[in-house]
Amino acid sequence: MNPKFIFYHHKNLALAKYVAHYADLPKTAPGAKIEFKSLPQQAVENTWAELPNQLRRLLFFARPDLVICLDDGVRPTHPVFAFEITQHVPARDHWMQRFPNLVGCAQEGVPGAYIMPFDMSEHPSFKSVIDPDFFFAYDRVTEIHQTPVFIAEWQTPDRRTPKGDSKFAAQPCSKMPDMVRAFEFLRTAVDAAFHGRPVASLMRERTIIDLRDRIRQRAYQSQLPSIASFKRLQHAMPNNRPLTLPELRAWLKGKSLTLPTNLPDRLVRRNKFLVFTPQVSTRGKTQAQLRSALMTRIDKKGGDPYLGQPLAFDYLFCRLGTTPYERDCSVVANLTDLKFEDLAKFHRKVWEKSPLQFTSLKKIKHIPTYTMYLKEGGSETIKNFLKLYAFTADLIVFEDGIIYF
């Protein structure tokens, strides 16, 4: 059987065709065929459970615009490269919003390229320049997961308009230096995957080291990120450092809450707590208004801009290893604008739709979905906000109580 590359795209077939045209994969993998498939819009769709297992794990947090999978007829179909593309400059809230998209890739050992403008300082409505902390966060991701991620610049010659390609004018110009590098990186990664070489071996290749150095040049050009430079952290940590356990107890006491007595040992021993507060502009707003505003964000806007923020702060300040348990500082999500029942209503919906409630095989409508639930429970189908906060946080603090992980 000829090897096959499957381009799974997230509502972006145009990008998939553009990448397929310029990547020239059959040259890297002789005889290979290319197929385009659309990713299911939601994890509750039946086709979700039919996706290759490793691809589903990669999509745990979010969906990159394009994931290239390899089916070599021998190994299970598996992702080998991912693309994320945006016409927005990653100013602070924006990059954190999309941060989980490529973290899922790195966590699964899948290299990726993130293509974006670096300078939109003349844009009429979204004036923005790039945030160096964005590069620092991705450098940490690369270092922790030993999986290369390249941040490619989509040039904006007039500081407001991304330069288009001569053949696919809606896509980045394929001749821009960073796009040439991105395609070379893609071919290197595909070649390694095709020949069964581990992704970590890429980290020692000169091309990849050069790409990493380009990220570091931007990440370390100014001061390293600190708690004081993020209002959402500074809110509960005015001393520009994580809270100690006694300080955390005092902070909770101010909210009429008490830390559970049976807190996991690892949290007590760390004695460092990074407290993240999504809504910090509270002036003139009642508790009911704050609650309603946050619920609207979660319910109608996919949790943005708060969705990826705890994960970004985790990588910036806490994470040491590949799992959230490998930290020297615990992540606390301050959701005291909400009650426990506000988020609980989302997992109730998953529970109500779960095929695990049926005891008759005749009532199981779709076997792959049923077996996915058997193995994973509802972890893949739960609302993204809940999924990400549960994955990242050690403690979630509600108005009426605390849960820990």
Partner 1 sequence: MNSEDDVVCAFCDHLRARGCIVLAEGGNQAAAFRYRVGSIIKAPDVVAICGQNLVVAEGKLRARDLFQRAVRGLSDLDACVAIERSSAIQTSLRAEALRRCRVSQIQTRDGLVVKTALFAHRVDKSDVQLAMEAQVPLAEVHSETTIWPDMP
Token representation of residue 73:
């007829």
65 binds partner 1 (CB under 8 A): yes
One-letter amino acid of 201: S
9 binds partner 1 (CB under 8 A): yes
17 binds partner 1 (CB under 8 A): yes
State which residue, 64 or 109, has the beta carbon closest to partner 1.
64
> Which of 57, 88, 339, 349 touches partner 1 by CB under 8 A?
88
For helices 384-392 and 340-353, angle between their N-to-C axes, nearest 10 degrees: 110
Total number of residues that touch partner 1 (CB under 8 A): 30
Token representation of residue 339:
């009650």
13 binds partner 1 (CB under 8 A): yes
Q: How far is the CB of 87 from partner 1 (least distance, A)?
A: 4
Three-state DSSP class for 230?
A: coil
Three-state DSSP class for 239?
A: coil
Q: Scanning residues 102 to 131, which ones bind partner 1 (CB under 8 A)?
A: 126
180 binds partner 1 (CB under 8 A): no
State which residue, 86 or 336, has the beta carbon closest to partner 1.
86
> Which of 6, 19, 51, 85 touches partner 1 by CB under 8 A?
85
Token representation of residue 90:
């990653």
Task: Collect all residues with Cβ–Cβ distance below 8 Å to 83 and sequence separation of at least 6.
Answer: 15, 19, 64, 65, 66, 67, 68, 112, 113, 114, 115
State which residue, 172 or 378, has the beta carbon closest to partner 1.
172
Q: How far apart are CA 235 and CA 330, in angstroms?
A: 17
State which residue, 92 or 123, has the beta carbon closest to partner 1.
123
Task: Collect all residues with Cβ–Cβ distance below 8 Å to 327 and sequence separation of at least 6.
Answer: 270, 314, 318, 319, 320, 321, 394
Handedness of CA 374, 376, 382, 386 (dihedral sign): positive
Instruction: Name the one range near partner 1 by CB under 8 A: 81-89, 192-200, 361-369, 394-402.
Output: 81-89
Q: How far is the CB of 167 from partner 1 (least distance, A)?
A: 8
Q: How far is the CB of 267 from partner 1 (least distance, A)?
A: 40
> Which of 15, 105, 182, 350 touches partner 1 by CB under 8 A?
15
State which residue, 98 or 140, has the beta carbon closest to partner 1.
98
Tell me the CA distances in angstroms from 18 to 38, 82, 155, one per residue in order.
15, 14, 17
Binding site residues, partner 1, CB under 8 A: 9, 11-15, 17, 38, 65, 85-88, 126, 156-158, 160-171, 173
